Amino acid sequence: MNWFGFILAQCLNALSQASILFFIACGLTLIFGIMRIVNFAHGVIFMLGAYVGYTANVVTGSFLVSLVVAPVVVGLVGMAFERTLLRHLYGRRDGGAYLLLTFGLAVVLSELIRLIWGVQPLGAGIPDFLRGVVIILDQPFPLYRLFLIGLGVAAAIAIWQFLERARPGLLIRAVSQNSEMVHALGTDVDMVRTAVFGFGCALAALGGVLAAPLVTAFLGMGTSVVIDAFVIVIIGGMGSFLGSIIGSVLVAFVQVMGAYYFQDLALALMYLLMLLVLIIRPGGLLGKED
Amino acid sequence: MPLLECRGLVRRFGALVAVDDIDLAVEPGEIRAVIGPNGAGKSTVFNLITSVLKPSAGQVIFAGEDITGMPVHEVAQKGIARTFQLCHIFPALTVRENVRIAAQARDGRRWQFLGGGRVLNRSTSAADEAIARMRLTRMADATAAMLSHGDQRLLEIAMAIAQKPRLLMLDEPTQGLSIEETGRAVQILKDMLTEGDLSVLLVEHDMEVVFKLADNITVLHRGRVIADGSPAAVRASAQVRSAYLGGAQ
Amino acid sequence: MNWRLGFLVTAAACAVLPFAVPQHSLTILVEALILGLFAMSLDLLVGYCRLYSFGHAAAYGLGAYSYALILTYVPLPLPAAILLAVAVTIVIAIPIAWICTRSTGVSFAMLTLAFAQLGYAMLFRFRDVTGGSDGLVGIPRHPGPFGIDWFQSKLGYYYLVLACLFGSYLLCRAIVRSPFGAVLAGIRENEAKTIALGYNTRAYKITTVVLAYGFGGLAGALYAAFAGFASPELFFWLTSGRVLIMVIVGGAGTLIGPILGGVSFVFLEHQLSQVTDLWPLIFGTIFMAFVMFAPQGIWGILTSRFRSRRAVSGSDSAKEAPGAAT
């Protein structure tokens, strides 16, 4: 029956959304895990990824190239920021300084984007080879969204395996648990932090490149995203990689169902969810406490 | 009737039972010390009494009232003041300001947000009194962060007594103090405690301090009470000796 | 004493200022004073409680839209409309404060931002009432009561705003020097200890958020009455960002610093925006520099220099107010 196909389409819709959210939230949670700070600029980093991706796409004519270029470029920007500015704050007693500094970065990057790319939304649309629909149970489903789901799942598995098996991954987990010990054992913890910060930014940028064909690159796309990412990280637990996956899926479902059934309140629903979670568990559901 | 009574206190952290069925009582005017090897659960008991941790089982009765699991600030309002193992003060404020905030805590008009000169004066004089008791007067205007570790501990105690508590709970007050500082602190405490009817619950590692100050001692080992009595009795107890000197944890 | 003298001199200077500057500068002066008030309201949270709000635009927007909406239904005289707008803002702020103070740090910041975003979204959702992206225009200033209308002229309105700013400053100063204010200092320095001493810190934080919203709402209402319109931009996150920058760069925890921060921001913005498009970028960069190297802000630096000189000369520093410099 068509009804079943419709539900499936909605689920796939939600999963494709979850994919993009996952890239952002995963980056945010990894950064938190390693540095105990919430990168407030993460939403703007996502936006920067979308814009850089657009330019890369236009310049090289290839979407796939932009998928690589944007994360690399933005990752480097992130690393530069961490190395030159954020690092200075590590001794501070006042945790508020990180908040303010990453906030300042958000403002500065936001303005830079406006100056470089202008105020008009930019979008090259969905690349040709990913256009079209796939028929699933009599329902047409965009190919691009399937691509997003596939990429998201692949990335999740890859990162999971990396954290579990690969030596650098183990190092990252060790540093998030006890950085002093790791430092005492001879590892350059600073370098790990820089690398993870860069990686987290790269992931968010990737999310931006992937999102741009759907929503276009526009100013302000970062603000709601950073709140979404924060809600996800809160639900899944600050610093928990698994939590970022679960949280992304949950939030995506809420957003998609909400947009369909409570159209007008869709936005409010997100905030209500966040409120609910923060009311019940001010520290998150899984993972490390703040 | 005891001022403070702990009945069957239990606290679990997952599979670890940090506090295992502890009964403890402090009579009005009594100075009781809680001692025990590391990991015996002493600070956990303190946290259970002051509600920083909620007990897995058991009750805390203060002045006949069940205060188990009451919000932390309400416990303080009942008349319990405590110091912490890791010295907790307001580092950027002056010594006087530190103690003044403590003195104000049980003032009925601490809420006042306009004027309030009288409240401020009341608490300032109470603060100065407590500062004098702790012999910190000459540094009353110094920033708390500038004080030596020993003086910071005395500051914390000054804050506790400025609250005019009925029960004073000191968590390792002489930890990290030099011999000279410890001697000074003990002398100050001794002078202060002999004049009032303050009840004191004291966690200590330094046995000399314990024997100088305490009326009675409770000994903890692995979360359980293994001895309870006068200093002489405890000193003579074979169980205590084996817990401290005998086999590994 | 020193402070009273400074206050009177500043008040006198501000009173005669309109006659010393060209007529067209009056508009900027009024805007500057309003933003100074807005910034000072945030200082209560940021400077005195170390609660970083990323959504203080909500207070401003609530005040502005409340004023505008009240007047579309009831032609109240200006003072009454402003007071009512502030009252509405305070009432709405109470549940917001209750929810936001459940968390601290980043969670608090995110919650405040979320509420501002929610407000922003609500404006578009109920666009029949709020005018959507166009906002509300043509908001009047009614005379009264008793036919008083000196505030209808620009000069008159300047004095109204000046009175509100100075009055609010005196109120805030009294608050931070009161027993209540002393507890805020405790919360700022070591909240766990403050709770252990017996204070219900949550209640204090809620009250401070509500107060901050109240003064912020006053600024918003004054703005709406002056500019004659209210737009969704007032709720936008960059508005929250600007006021946060004013507070930090001006000097958090001093009340005066943020006022000066707000005032200078408006002047600089006016001057620089004529010259270059880069000024928000410049401000953002200056902000980051202050966060890293001079977190006590401009006024903080100036007053600490002054205070250390005083201490050296041996004057009585025992009368320090509880909390930061005022």
Please check the confidence at residue C127 and state whether its pLDDT lies above 70: yes
C318 to chain B: closest CA residue: B141
- Chain mean position to CA C197: 31
Task: Say if residues B223 and B22 touch (Cβ distance below 8 Å).
Answer: yes
User: Is residue C314 scored above 80 in pLDDT?
Assistant: no
Q: Mind listing the pLDDT tens digit for each residue in A9-51?
A: 888 889 999 999 999 999 999 998 888 888 889 999 999 999 9
Nearest CA in chain C to B105: C198
Cβ atoms < 10 Å from Cβ of C45: 28
Which chain A residues are within 8 Å of C101, Cβ to Cβ? none
HSE, side-chain direction, 13 A CA sphere, residue B182: 16
Residue C23 has a CB neighbour count (10 Å cut-off) of 9
* Residue-averaged pLDDT of chain A: 84
CA distance to B101, B116, C177, C188, C203, per residue, from C184 (Å): 10, 15, 10, 6, 11
Residue A283 scores a pLDDT above 90: no
**How many B/C residue pairs have CB atoms within 8 Å?**
101
Q: What pLDDT shows up at residue C280?
A: 83
> Among positive and negative, which fits the CA dihedral C269, C275, C281, C284?
negative
Average pLDDT for residues A112-122, to the nearest whole number? 89
String of DSSP letters for C120-141: HHHHHHTHHHH-GGG-B-----
**Dihedral, CA of residue C72, residue C75, residue C78 and residue C81, to nearest 10:** -60
Is the minimum CB–CB distance between A276 and chain C shorter than 8 Å? Answer: no
Report the pLDDT averaged over residues C298-310.
Answer: 77
Judge: C106–A290 Cβ closer than 8 Å, yes or no: yes
Q: What is the spatial distance between Cα C37 and Cα C263, in angstroms, rounded to a whole number?
A: 9
Domains and CATH numbers, chain B: 28-54+67-79+165-249 (3.40.50.300), 91-163 (no CATH)
CA–CA distances in Å: residue B86 to residues A46, B96, B201, B204 = 42, 20, 17, 13
Residue B110 has what pLDDT?
81
Per-residue pLDDT tens over the stretch B4-14: 999 999 999 88
Instruction: Give me the torsion for CA of C209, C212, C214, C219, rounded to 10°.
Output: -150
pLDDT for C313 equals 41
Residue of C nearest to B82 (CA): C196
Token pair belonging to B210: 């314990």
Asked if C320's CB is within 8 angstroms of B104's CB, the reply is: no
**Separation CA A226–CA A200 (nearest Å):** 13
C277: nearest CB among A95, A115, A267: A115
Would the CB atoms of B101 and C182 count as touching at under 8 Å? yes
Measured in angstroms, the CA of A71 and the nearest CA of chain C are apart by 23
Q: Is the pLDDT of residue B249 over 50?
A: no
- Residue B115 confidence (pLDDT): 79
Task: Tell me how far apart the alpha carbons of residues A238 and B158 are, in angstroms, rounded to a whole number.
Answer: 39
Give whole-number Cα distances, B138 to A42, A218, B141, B151, B177, in Å: 50, 62, 8, 11, 20
Q: Are C111 and C177 in contact (CB under 8 A)?
A: no
Q: Is the pLDDT of residue A252 over 80?
A: yes
Tell me the residue type at A158. A
Strand partners, A135: A140
Instruction: Kindly list the residues from chain C whose CB atom is less than 8 angstroms away from the CB atom of residue A38.
Output: 106
Lowest mean per-residue pLDDT among A264-278, C200-214, C281-295:
A264-278
**SS3 assignment, position C165:** helix
Token readout for C209 is 């958020």
Q: Does C309 touch chain B (CB under 8 A)?
A: no
Say what percent of chain B tops pLDDT 70. 98
Bond prior to B28 in cis (omega within 30° of 0): no
Exposure class string for B93-106: b at 16+ Cβ within 10 A, else e: bbbbbbbbbbbbbb
Q: Is the pLDDT of residue C319 over 70?
A: no
**For residues B240 and C242, which has the higher predicted lDDT (pLDDT)?**
C242
pLDDT for the residue numbered B66:
94
Residue C322's pLDDT band (cuts 50, 70, 90) = very low
Amino acid at B128: D
What's the confidence (pLDDT) of residue A4?
A: 79
* pLDDT for the residue numbered A282: 61
Taking 80 as the threshold, does the pLDDT of residue C206 lie above it?
A: yes
- Spatial contact of A270 and A255, defined as CB atoms under 8 Å apart: yes
Distance CA A129, CA A131 (A): 6
With beta carbons under 8 A apart, name residues in chain C contacting A115: 277-278, 281
Of the residues B82, B84, B111, the best mutation for testing chain C's interface (the one with the most C CB atoms within 10 Å of its CB) is B111
Answer whether residue A265 shows pLDDT above 70. Answer: no
What's this model's pTM, rounded to 2 decimal places? 0.88
Give the C window 100-129 contacts with A, CB below 8 Å.
102-103, 105-107, 109-111, 113-115, 117-118, 121-122, 125
Q: Which residue has the higher pLDDT, C187 or A166?
A: C187
Q: Partners of B25 in the beta sheet?
A: B5
